[in-house]
Chain A
Amino acid sequence: MEQAKKKELQALAVKIRLAALEAIHSLGSGHLGGALSIADVLAVLYGEEMKIDPQNPQWPERDKLVCSKGHAGPAVYGTLAVKGFFPYEELKTLNRPGTRLPSHCDRNKTPGVDMTTGSLRQGTSLAAGMALGDRIKGRPSRTFLIVGDGESNEGQVWEALAFAAAKKLSNLVVLLDWNKRQLDGWTKDVYPMGDYVAKFEAFGFDTVKVDGNDVEAVAAALARTRKGGDKPYAIVLDTVKGAGIQEVADTPMNHSISVNDDQYGRWTAQLRAELAELEG
Chain B
Amino acid sequence: MKIVYNGELDPRLCKAVLGETIPALAAEDPDVIYLDADLMNCIGTAKWAAANPDRAVNCGIAEANMIGVACGLASAGFKPIVHTFGPFASRRCYDQAFLSGGYAKNDITILGTDPGVTATLNGGTHMPFEDVALYRALPGSTVIDVTDPTLLISVLRQCVNRPGVKYIRVGRKQYARVYEDGSELPIGKAVTLREGSDVVIFAAGIMVHEAMKAAQTLEAQGIQAAVLDMFSIKPLDEEAVEAWARKTGAVVVAENHNRNGGLYDAVNQVLAERCPVPACCVAVEDEFGEVGPQGYLQERFGLTADHIVSQVQAVLKRKG
Contacts and interface: CB of A to CB of B under 8 A. Distances in A.
Contacts of A116: 99-100, 103-105
B40 to A, nearest CB: 15
A28 to B, nearest CB: 26
Interface stretch (A129-137, A219-227, A265-273): A129-137
Interface string A107-124: 110000011101100101
Q: Which of B65, B68, B70, B71 has the most CB of A within 10 A?
A: B65
Given A108-B104, A122-B99, A133 B75 contact: yes
B127 interface: no
A126 B77 contact: no
A60 interface: yes
A162 B75 contact: no
Given A119-B99, A136-B33, A159-B64, A129 B104 contact: no
Contact of B64 (A114, A118, A125, A133): A125
Q: Which of A108, A115, A125 has the most CB of B within 10 A?
A: A125
B65 A130 contact: no
Interface stretch (B53-61, B113-121, B178-186): B53-61
A127 interface: yes
B72 A130 contact: yes
B75 A107 contact: yes
A125 B77 contact: no
Contact of A125 (B57, B68, B103, B105): B68
Nearest to A126: B72
B64 A129 contact: no
Contact of A126 (B57, B71, B105): B71
Interface in B63-93: 64-78
Nearest to A127: B72
A186 interface: no
B78 A133 contact: yes
A166 interface: yes
A32 interface: no
Contacts of A126: 68-69, 71-72, 75, 100, 104, 106
A47 B246 CA distance: 66
Contact of B76 (A122, A130, A156, A166): A130
A125 B73 CA distance: 10
B69 A163 contact: yes
Contacts of B73: 129-130, 132-133
Q: Which of A106, A126, A132, A133 has the most CB of B within 10 A?
A: A126
Interface of B: 33, 54, 57, 59-60, 62, 64-78, 95-96, 99-100, 103-106
20 contacts: A60-B77, A106-B104, A124-B68, A125-B67, A125-B71, A126-B69, A126-B72, A126-B104, A129-B73, A129-B74, A130-B72, A130-B73, A133-B77, A134-B76, A136-B54, A137-B77, A159-B65, A163-B59, A163-B65, A167-B57
Interface of A: 60, 106-108, 114-116, 118-119, 122, 124-134, 136-137, 155-156, 159-160, 162-163, 166-167
Given A130-B72, A136-B76, 5 more contacts: A126-B104, A129-B70, A156-B64, A162-B60, A163-B60
Pick the 7 closest A-B CB pairs, nearest first.
Answer: A129-B72, A125-B68, A133-B76, A116-B104, A159-B65, A129-B69, A130-B72
